[in-house]
A and B are shown apart, each in its own frame.
Chain A
Amino acid sequence: MTRHQVVVIGSGAGGGTAARTLAEAGLDVLLLEMGAALGPEQMRQREEQMIPQLFQDAGARRTVDQTITVLQGQGLGGSTLHNLNLVKRIPPALLEQWERSQSLAGLSASLTEDYDWAERELKVSRIEDHQVNRANQLFSQGCSALGLRQARLLHNRVGCVGSGFCELGCAYNAKMNSARVMIPAAVAAGAKVETGLRVTQITSRFGRVNGVRVQSADGRPRQIGADAVVLAASATSSAALVLASGLDDPHRRSGRGLHLHPGTTVAALFDTPVKAWSGIPQSIECTELLDAVDPNKRVWIVPAFAHPAGAAGLMSGFGPELMGLMRQYRHLAAAAPMLHDYGAGHITATSDGRPRIHYRLDPGDSRALAQGMAMTARIWLAAGAQRVILPGIRPIFVSSLAEAARVEAWDVQPLDPPLVAVHPQGGLAMAGDPRRGPVDPEGRHRGARGLYVADGSLFPSSTGVPPQLTIYALGRRVGRTVARDLGAG
């Protein structure tokens, strides 16, 4: 059995950053990743080749009722390999709410320093004018015509060619992500990395972790010893591992408070070609219906697009009605109203540590989603779209603002419209009060000494914004905690 001071589970924004922080503090670190190490030369820009490599369960992970697709990354770099590189801090009002509701005094000030550090390391910049593709220009024009609140987004790319294949991994190595920034620094500081290993259990003795049990791709089990274990396997997978490991949890909070940020796709057909697959997929946001702490405003709207197989799979209907749209693929744009969801689901685990995701939209979220779809339809029409296509059981076509307004009355039901979640959060919330969350404010899981959490599981609520920057920042914060507890740094 090999043994290390710290084993980090998961190599995404949280795990990669924690591993770097720990290695730079002089600790003996092993970083474990269930997927493969993929370089830019292996990002082939082909959906059928990349999706099984970059997404857990080949992109087919779903909620238990199978109605919501939950996309979660794998591969050395985790979800930062396929994400769309949007960088947003959690709004101060929400952090203040977390401080109050979760007894997290000082979180906001501490996180600011780590945000600053992460933005420097990731070379965060504003997406420039010439990088805004036509779909995003149209979206912005629509927002302007309606007088809606919009903003240019920040991103972490350097050397971007605007290929538009971000979600299939960058063949140009332009993503300043965990794989390019954090993991190389961790390795340079002495961290070891093993890929193709899935952790099935966190092992403990007398209330203290002593390692992890892993399984290789061919199914062979192995035990790795550790003084400390940092869980950064993603919201859903981290909670599932805690539950499958039978750790102490007197208030039964592990796995609770899961938020998915679910969204749907509203497409639009224009008279002239849009080629929405080309260029940076998301550079403009509409925040007219979003406020971090006002439950009456819980929808974030951003352009979204998929390559042909993904686009056809997301559409509704079949035969000529579906193909009539795919034939006009060059003329299509799309945007996603995504919920800053107030309703919460929970995680359970299979015996080998895989997550089972239980989640249904609550009535307030359902109403907000309908409102978001209607607003998105209005934006596209105001931008000059010939018609807007909503993903009902059959495609629903909207050609006027009056028709778009009626979308607000949509009775949202499971699979109507189909939902996709790309930002799962929560499940192992941090809280000063053990009754409010299983993890303490510094990242220590209360179920076993030596166990830490450093990913989006820590969020006590939905953030309403892409989570990656906050996860990088928390990875550093929790890494410091571990180093301090082990007497290093």
Chain B
Amino acid sequence: MWSRRRFLSLGVAGGGAALLLGLAPAREVQILDALADRLFFAPGMPKPSTLGAGARAWAFAMELPAFDRAQLRGLLRAIDWGPCLRWGARFPNLGEAEQDAILTALCEAEALTPRLALQALRQLLAMGTFTHPTVWAAIGYDGPTIGLQAWEEGP
């Protein structure tokens, strides 16, 4: 059986190898879309990838400092290529159960680094997912209010 630790260490090794191959942004957006669809999945809710969550998250990531961008690229490569060692497929091509197993491993790892990775992905992809008006409608959020009158000015 694969322990989480072994799985993650192989994942990181796979990511290291992927550093040599490089990734086009389109691939990174595809990985982000696949991650968003699992992180923010719920029956009856819009699927984040259909709303362009990956592309919006990537656009936000380009505003981050260079060090964070480099870390994100490394993390996405690790997540993308790591599963090849166990399942023979890259992350976006895995089934939902396998994708959830990877995210569960990150979420419940004893080591800090995998949990930090999941937190970073959750925050980034929340910026890609929960900024779309379709999602606002689904969660009952009113959205921007520009146009209200000042209380002090009265009705």
Partners in one complex: yes
Q: Are A393 and B108 in contact (CB under 8 A)?
A: yes
Residues of B95-139 at the interface with A, using a CB-CB cut-off of 8 Å, are: 100, 103, 107-108, 112, 115-116, 118-119, 122-124, 126-131, 135-136, 138-139
Q: Are A308 and B64 in contact (CB under 8 A)?
A: no
Q: B1-38 interface mask toward A, CB cutoff 8 Å, 1 = contact, 0 = none?
A: 00000000000000000000000000000000000001
Q: Are B123 and A319 in contact (CB under 8 A)?
A: no
A residues in contact with B146, CB < 8 Å: 44-45, 163, 171
A residues in contact with B56, CB < 8 Å: 48
* 13 contacting pairs across A/B (C-beta < 8 A): A48-B56, A60-B65, A65-B112, A160-B151, A161-B150, A307-B130, A308-B130, A308-B131, A309-B131, A322-B40, A329-B139, A393-B115, A414-B112
Nearest B residue (CB) for A55: B63
Partner of A329, one of B112, B141, B151: B141
A residues in contact with B103, CB < 8 Å: 318-319
Q: Are B68 and A57 in contact (CB under 8 A)?
A: yes
Nearest B residue (CB) for A52: B63
The 9 tightest CB contacts between A and B, nearest first, are A323-B42, A313-B123, A45-B144, A308-B130, A52-B63, A312-B126, A330-B140, A313-B126, A309-B130
Interface of B is mostly: helix
A residues in contact with B149, CB < 8 Å: 161
A137 in the interface (beta carbon within 8 A): no
Partner of B45, one of A65, A307, A311, A323: A323
Q: Are B129 and A309 in contact (CB under 8 A)?
A: yes
A residues in contact with B39, CB < 8 Å: 318-319, 322
Nearest B residue (CB) for A330: B140
A residues in contact with B116, CB < 8 Å: 66-67, 415
A278 in the interface (beta carbon within 8 A): yes
Q: Are B141 and A308 in contact (CB under 8 A)?
A: yes
Q: Are A415 and B112 in contact (CB under 8 A)?
A: yes
Q: Are B144 and A58 in contact (CB under 8 A)?
A: no
B residues in contact with A222, CB < 8 Å: none
CA distance A52 to B148 in the complex (A): 25
Known: A47-B127, A159-B152, A165-B144. A308 touches B139 (CB 8 A): yes
Residues of B48-73 at the interface with A, using a CB-CB cut-off of 8 Å, are: 56, 59-60, 63-65, 68
Residues of A423-458 at the interface with B, using a CB-CB cut-off of 8 Å, are: none
CA distance A312 to B136 in the complex (A): 12
Which of B130, B148, B150 lies at the interface centre, i.e. has the most chain A CB atoms within 10 A of its CB? B130
Q: Are B41 and A326 in contact (CB under 8 A)?
A: no
Residues of A49-70 at the interface with B, using a CB-CB cut-off of 8 Å, are: 51-52, 57-58, 60, 65-67
Q: Are A312 and B129 in contact (CB under 8 A)?
A: yes
Q: Name A residues whose Cβ lies closer than 8 Å to a Cβ of B.
A: 44-48, 51-52, 57-58, 60, 65-67, 130-131, 158-165, 171-172, 174, 273, 275, 277-278, 307-313, 315-320, 322-324, 326-327, 329-330, 393-394, 414-415, 418
A426 nearest CB across to chain B (Å): 23
B residues in contact with A65, CB < 8 Å: 112
Q: Name B residues whose Cβ lies closer than 8 Å to a Cβ of A.
A: 38-43, 45, 56, 59-60, 63-65, 68, 100, 103, 107-108, 112, 115-116, 118-119, 122-124, 126-131, 135-136, 138-142, 144-146, 148-153
Q: Are B40 and A313 in contact (CB under 8 A)?
A: no
Nearest B residue (CB) for A65: B112
Q: Are A58 and B38 in contact (CB under 8 A)?
A: no
Known: A45-B145, A48-B59, A58-B65. 12 other contacts (CB 8 A): A47-B127, A48-B131, A130-B151, A165-B144, A273-B140, A308-B126, A308-B135, A309-B130, A312-B129, A312-B130, A319-B100, A320-B41
Q: Are B148 and A163 in contact (CB under 8 A)?
A: yes
A residues in contact with B40, CB < 8 Å: 312, 318-319, 322-323, 326
Partner of B115, one of A48, A320, A326, A415: A415
Q: Are A308 and B136 in contact (CB under 8 A)?
A: yes
CA distance A51 to B136 in the complex (A): 18
Q: Are A313 and B115 in contact (CB under 8 A)?
A: no
Q: Are B150 and A159 in contact (CB under 8 A)?
A: yes
CA distance A171 to B126 in the complex (A): 23
